[in-house]
Structures are given as C-alpha cells and as structure tokens.
Amino acid sequence: MIKLRNFESLTETEKENDFAITAHYPFVSLLRFFRQTFILLIAGIFLSGCDLLSEDSDDVTSENIYILAELTAKGNSSTYIKVNLHKNESFGQPLELVNGDKLTVSYLGNSVELTKDNNIVEIDYTASIANQGQGGTYTLTFDRHDGSQITSTVIMPEPYTINSPSEHTVFRENDNVAVTWSPAVTGNELSFHGHLRCKTYEDDLSTEWDNENETWLTSDDGEYLLPLNKLISNLTFEITLEDEHFDYAAPCSLDFDISRTNHGDLAGKYESGSRLTAVQYRQIENLSVWLIAD
C-alpha cells in the first residue's frame, strides 16, 4: 500500500531525508512532477465541465460503438439503469449522445429516457424505472439520428431475500459466517463479494484502517459459507509486509454483497464484446469480527 503525505506535514528529519532521496534519485522528483501535473489536469477538466476526450455519437456508426449497459435491482421498488458508450472498444473514447441519438428503457408498458450524468473520467447515461418488486423482460432501445433503431432485451433475475446473517451480527475470527437466502435457483450461479476492514497500527503507534476485498462464485442453492478466514489471512499477509499490526481492541468491520446476474441479447449490432446485464443485488453491512490476539 502506497501512502502519500503532504510535504509540509513531514518532520524536519523526514524533510531532510526527502531532499536526499530526490538528490540521489532524480526520477523520484520527475515522478512527483508528473503526478502533480496529472492531478491538476484532471481537476481543471472537472472544474471546466468538459468531458475527457469525448466524441459525438453521430460521428460513429452503431457497429463501431461499444456499449456497456447494466440494470440493477436492489430489492426496492425501482431498477437503476446505467449505460456507457465508447468508440470501438471498452477503453475507447466516451461518446456523448447528440443530434437526436437517445437511449430508452421499457418495462411492463412503461418507458424512460436515459439522461447524461457526468463524472470526472466517464459519461454515464442513467435512469430509474419502477419494477413492482419482480423480475421480467426489459427492453433497451437506441434511437439513432438517421432514423434507425436498435432494440435489445434482457431478463431481470427473480428477486430474493438474504435470511441470515442480519446486519450488526457479531462474529469471532474462527466463526463460520453462514449466509442463507431464498428463493434459490437450481443450476444458477451467484457472485459473492466480501469486504473486511480492520484497524491497524505501526511501530510509532499511528493507526489506520486496512481493507481486504475478495469475490467468489457459488451455486445459487440458498446457502454459502463465506470464507472469512481467507479475508483475514490475506489482510494479515498484507499488513505484515507493511510492518503493521492489528489493533485487537477494535473489532473489524465486515460487509458482503450478492449478485444474481442475467446476460441480455444485444442483437449483434454493436461492437464485439458489448454487454447488457441485469442484476439482482443484495447487501449486508456492519457485521463485526473480533480477531483473536496471538
């Protein structure tokens, strides 16, 4: 883990060491220059409201547009839609819809047009649509400025409920974290993502919170034993490399989420590799894990 500190916050001894490092290793100073320049460039673009290297959609044919579309339901009454468009590939220039190009999503007779949502390095097109707490078929329509239309469909997986554990449950590091949900879907797979966050300290007694993240695939059979020991052992290895130690007086925080995903039909009219997915997403937060001191 690389830690960045402001020069003014350094002690006099650390400042002297810093000058010595840059004197003997000029590339360190060069790296800092490029880092600061990049940060200033991104900040300038953000403040000016400009899109980073974007291109107008009407200059790109549909066959050369890479589309990444995800519909997410979180167990409430609406489905969130996010679409990114790029030229030629996933890392190509982001496209801005202009000159009559537009995206709409339809579900159970209702339609909503996606609107532009800028962030610092991407152009997102987003919307929410009522889902009545169920699955079903969603239709994504891309209307082009030339009058053509591309229609794609995806089936939202059936909703489910996490039965255990509940939020704020307390575990010890050797406990089994048994996750159950219903209904299960025979022959399907789920994606689990676990996030462990523990308080650590260095030899000078300064403290921070270190994180470990892992993702696993499992059968959608209604139960899964979350590998807590794997998260702890990975984080132990990482903090040992950094000469840090666990603060056993504070519990670790554990969150996990589950994704049940279906892939849609993009009609073969976009750039190869384009994706349309529908995800039933559930999350449990604020579990506590007490580590056992050696």
With 50 as the cut, is the pLDDT of residue 231 above it? Answer: yes
- For 4, which DSSP code? -
Q: What is the pTM for the complete model shown?
A: 0.77
Provide the terminal-to-terminal Cα distance of the chain, rounded to the nearest Å: 24
Distance CA 64, CA 257 (A): 34
Long-range CB contact pairs, 122-127, < 8 A, 24+: 122/52, 122/84, 122/94, 123/51, 123/54, 123/84, 123/85, 123/94, 123/95, 123/96, 124/82, 124/83, 124/84, 125/82, 125/83, 125/84, 125/85, 125/97, 126/80, 126/81, 126/82, 126/83, 127/80, 127/81
SS3 sequence of 176-216: CEEEEEECCCCCCEEEEEEEEEEEEECCCCCEEEEEEEEEE
Is the preceding peptide bond at 94 cis, omega within 30 degrees of 0? no
Which of residues 47 and 284 earns the better pLDDT score?
284
Quickly state the pLDDT bin for 7 (edges 50, 70, 90): very low
pLDDT digits (tens, 9 = 90+) for 191-218: 999 999 999 999 999 999 999 999 999 9
pLDDT digits (tens, 9 = 90+) for 11-31: 554 444 444 444 444 444 454
Mean per-residue pLDDT of the chain = 86
- Residue 280: closest CA among 157, 187, 184, 193: 157
Mapped onto helix, strand or coil, the DSSP state of residue 28 is: helix
Quickly state the pLDDT bin for 33 (edges 50, 70, 90): low
Distance CA 176, CA 188 (A): 24
DSSP string, 93-120: -BEE--TT-EEEEEETTEEEE-EEEE-S
